[in-house]
Structure 1
Amino acid sequence: MYVYVLAVIFIYLFFKRRPAAILEVYEPWSPLSYFKQWIIYLGILNNKRKKKSAVGHKKAGFGLKALDDVNQMEYPQDLGSHPLAVDAVWFGGGNKDGVYLVISGARRQERIMQSMLFLYVPGFGLLQHTNMPETALVQTEEESKGWIGGGINLECIKPLKKWIVKYTGEMVNPATKEVYQVDINLTYNSADKHFDFDSDMNPWTVARAMAREPWSQEYFARLRAAHQNHYEQFGELSGDISIGENKMNLRLQVMKDHTHGSVRDWTLLHRYCFHHFATPTGLQGFLGIVSQPGTLSYLELGWILRNGTPYPVEEVDMKIWNYGENGDDTEDYGFRFLAGNQWYNVQVTLCHKKKGHAFYGKSWEARIVERFCRYKINDENGWGVSEWEYRHRGGKKE
């Protein structure tokens, strides 16, 4: 009798008309989603149970990591033959004194490195690479073996322990147009554990995102094709920065990430909202929402480091269609998230109206906004960088 009743309920839910997507983008939760979430959740748990070792880049994800050897993982990866292949590293963060830095390099085909470089220093304001908002830099043959180009040099010295982060060249204040000779000579150090998004994300959270979507054979093929291997680590950048004749010694709390994949197609992304924060007590986090319609239109993701232990985000209570959906990023707002069985209330306030703007893709398919923030996390003060991305359809401006 109970089996019959359950079967009738399932059939009813299966054939019930799906609710319309929110703003024709974000797939809504439906009654059938509960069943789908359990199916994916159990599948991820089964993956974790069956396979503890790495499975390679092409089979990674859904609880399975790509590489076991950090010596391989941290260094430049083979791009292969796909025209949209990517191998990218990113450093971003700040300190309690109001200094912020974002520096990145994404190796692409044809010796192109897509890079951002933004530096905010009180008294000088926002400085950016003179190539901005364009991110594409042409590398030499030798430079293309690593994250080097346009004066930027990001190099792993000891995997998950030490990197050098350097820049030598001109930077411009976009508001005043004043140009400065800048030398950045920093060392990244970390003794903290990294977080692998292939294997360390909360299975129930991943399953919830997939359960929203309409399933088909084509859906799972798109999901697999769009996958990128990604891991992150918190650490500290320390060293010297010179702006003209002014030299300063800095210590910045930052997040480093490394992404490798056979396809990074910016046209697939609708938008995302990420938040990095650090606090005086050592609590750090990187979390937010990604919207990639057709695969994961509303994905909650991220992690925190609390007392030296990484915890995956279980829930991000931030309905991003209520935050800057029109293309203007929100500057003063709040949300909450769940990680390590604890809820955190977050208040975000932009320190400065000046933001870093960058475009990615040959036709500027994506617009990135780097925002320098003050945070309040459960009444504790914090600081960091918030990165928002929007799909850009206005084409490249010469």
Structure 2
Amino acid sequence: MIWFIAANFGLLVALVSLVLMLLGRKSTLIFGKYPCKGPFYSIKYRIALWLLRRLRLHFYKRNEELLSSSAHLATIDCPQPLTDDPKSYDVVSFMAANAAGVKLMLTLERRRRGVLKAAFYLWLPGDGLLCSPRLPDMVHFTSEGGYGESSEFRGAGFHIFPVRSMRSWRLLYNGQLRRNGELLDVKLDLDFNSTAAHFDYNRDLSSALIADSIAREAWNDTFYGLLKRVGQVLDKRTHYEQSGMLTGTIMFEGRRRELKLRGFRDHSFGTERCLSSINRYVYFALLLDDGSSMVVGNLSQPSFFLSSLKMGYFCTAEGVYEPITASNFELYSYGEKGTPPQHQNFIVNTADNVYMVQIEVEHSAIRYVGGDWESKVYNQFVACTVNGIAGQGHAEYLYRHNSGRPEEVAAEDPIWYQRIKRFERSLSNMELMNDLEDEDFIF
């Protein structure tokens, strides 16, 4: 009897080992980066889909009352305290457009010790592109000597703040913007207002899209280790978006211009925003003339077992979000060699609809993201049609950038920041310098 039990136990162990080995096989990679569907894709997809639904039940649906409460929303929809973690971040962004072709993009990223990464673009038909004067560099400093944390989205002439959580934000700018090499004095005063709910990427992104991405990966020991700390991972990154209206005025060259745009507000914070681990991403924000809108993206972050994660949603004119469940937009088909295409055509699906997306680029600009310019982003200002409905919008193509931040740009940084960056580079090169051994990280 004991021999029988031992034999069956040994058979079970061997069977489990075989299954784990098969699930851990690597799929064929396109361009050495993007995994195809392997022979066990269907099995892995079903397992991943079941697991994702269980995790979301545990972390979100069981806590829905708390997470939707006014107190909780007020806690997250404001500038977040930055922790001692060197990678701590807090970002607010806006993308907007109107049928006349006006397009606005603004992002402010707070980092430790008063470092602010800022970018602003305003495309005005007839006037051209106005942008932040330091672009393509985004790094600004809001504290003296690197001491004292900023508690606001304020700096580089901007001040962005919530008026009413999940309902209203104010955007102010008083400074200079660049147009064709010329610096213009500009005042911007905008209100963002929304009656729509927010789309939380951890909670609301289609489980089918995540399961598809995970099922293409090799399920190895690192992957299983990641599953054990899913709760910690979710705690380290929060990202949500909200559809709404931007209204207000801009003044430059003695002219006052009224702005009325439809768009999105994005808020992200946590400690897991390491650009050096991202291979590529593409992101579209499309605002259609009938009041509806669409966000479509594809992220490649192999170190996080997401070599090709599709994402996004369709938002009705009434502010109802329909998560995208499938898309034929593949990174390897669009700008893989480092130059984004000027035209893009692809199809996306939601649970109830199919959308044919056609995009034409009208203008573009380049910025570099990260303290050491780890990534290069092409910001495209586009016209589009979705199922025959015209619209305007934005596209972002992010690529790895390995040339670093130029010395002539870094030379203008405060001495304390230059010292910290030398410290970080010395550790990256395993060459800790004696005079920097007590320095701090900032990233």
The TM-score, its normalising length taken from structure 2, stands at: 0.80
In proportion to residue count, which structure has more helix?
A: 2
CA-CA distance at 1:54 after TM superposition: 4.7
Whole-Å separation in 2 of the counterparts to 1:66 and 1:107: 26
Partner amino acid, structure 1, of 2:328: D
Give the counterpart of 2:285 among 276, 280, 293: 276
Give the counterpart of 2:43 among 9, 15, 35: 35
Instruction: Rate the CA distance shift 1:54–1:15 in 2: closer, same or farther, 3 A.
Output: closer
Partner amino acid, structure 1, of 2:252: I
Instruction: Rate the CA distance shift 1:221–1:134 in 2: closer, same or farther, 3 A.
Output: farther
Give the counterpart of 2:174 among 150, 168, 178: 168
Partner amino acid, structure 2, of 1:93: A
Alignment partner, residue 369 of structure 1 = 378
Alignment partner, residue 433 of structure 2 = none
CA deviations 1:217-266 (Å, max 9, x no partner) are 32355685596211001111100001221210010111111111212111
CA-CA distance at 1:53 after TM superposition: 4.7
Instruction: Rate the CA distance shift 1:180–1:228 in 2: closer, same or farther, 3 A.
Output: same
Whole-Å separation in 2 of the counterparts to 1:123 and 1:216: 55
Whole-Å separation in 2 of the counterparts to 1:250 and 1:15: 54
- Residues 1:186 and 2:197 aligned together: no
Partner amino acid, structure 2, of 1:190: S
- Residues 1:297 and 2:307 aligned together: yes
Alignment partner, residue 255 of structure 1 = 264
Alignment partner, residue 320 of structure 2 = 309
Alignment partner, residue 141 of structure 2 = 138
CA deviations 1:268-317 (Å, max 9, x no partner) are 01111111111122211111111112220100101111243211110121
- Residues 1:351 and 2:351 aligned together: no
Partner amino acid, structure 2, of 1:94: A
8 Å CA contact 1:13–1:32 kept in 2: the answer is no
After the TM superposition, which of the residue ranges 194-203 and 38-47 deviates more from structure 2?
Answer: 38-47
Whole-Å separation in 1 of the counterparts to 2:25 and 2:371: 40
Instruction: Structure 2: give runs of 5+ residues left out of the alignment.
Output: 1-14, 409-443
After the TM superposition, which of the residue ranges 243-252 and 141-150 deviates more from structure 2?
Answer: 141-150
CA-CA distance at 1:121 after TM superposition: 1.1
- Residues 1:322 and 2:333 aligned together: yes
CA-CA distance at 1:142 after TM superposition: 7.6
- Residues 1:339 and 2:339 aligned together: no
Question: Considering only CA atoms, is the larger Rg found in Structure 1 or Structure 2?
Answer: 2
8 Å CA contact 1:288–1:316 kept in 2: the answer is no
CA deviations 1:327-364 (Å, max 9, x no partner) are 11111120110114211000000123xx2221111210
Whole-Å separation in 2 of the counterparts to 1:327 and 1:66: 44
Instruction: Structure 1: give runs of 5+ residues left out of the alignment.
Output: 1-6, 56-63
Alignment partner, residue 204 of structure 1 = 208
CA-CA distance at 1:66 after TM superposition: 12
- Cα RMSD of the aligned pairs, angstroms, is 2.6
Percent of counterpart pairs with the same letter? 26
8 Å CA contact 2:91–2:109 kept in 1: the answer is yes
Partner amino acid, structure 1, of 2:208: W
Alignment partner, residue 49 of structure 1 = 57
Whole-Å separation in 1 of the counterparts to 2:23 and 2:261: 54
Partner amino acid, structure 1, of 2:207: P
What does 1:74-89 align with in structure 2 at a 5 Å threshold?
Answer: 74-89=77-92
8 Å CA contact 2:27–2:216 kept in 1: the answer is no
Instruction: Rate the CA distance shift 1:221–1:139 in 2: closer, same or farther, 3 A.
Output: farther
SS at match of 1:328: coil
Alignment partner, residue 59 of structure 1 = none
Instruction: Rate the CA distance shift 1:112–1:88 in 2: closer, same or farther, 3 A.
Output: same
The TM-score, its normalising length taken from structure 1, stands at: 0.89
SS at match of 1:233: strand
SS at match of 2:360: strand
Whole-Å separation in 1 of the counterparts to 2:225 and 2:162: 34
Alignment partner, residue 231 of structure 1 = 240
Whole-Å separation in 2 of the counterparts to 1:12 and 1:111: 47
Alignment partner, residue 58 of structure 1 = none
CA-CA distance at 1:124 after TM superposition: 2.0
Whole-Å separation in 1 of the counterparts to 2:348 and 2:94: 23
Whole-Å separation in 1 of the counterparts to 2:160 and 2:366: 21
Alignment partner, residue 4 of structure 1 = none
What does 1:91-110 align with in structure 2 at a 5 Å threshold?
Answer: 91-110=94-113
Instruction: Rate the CA distance shift 1:216–1:383 in 2: closer, same or farther, 3 A.
Output: same
CA-CA distance at 1:12 after TM superposition: 11
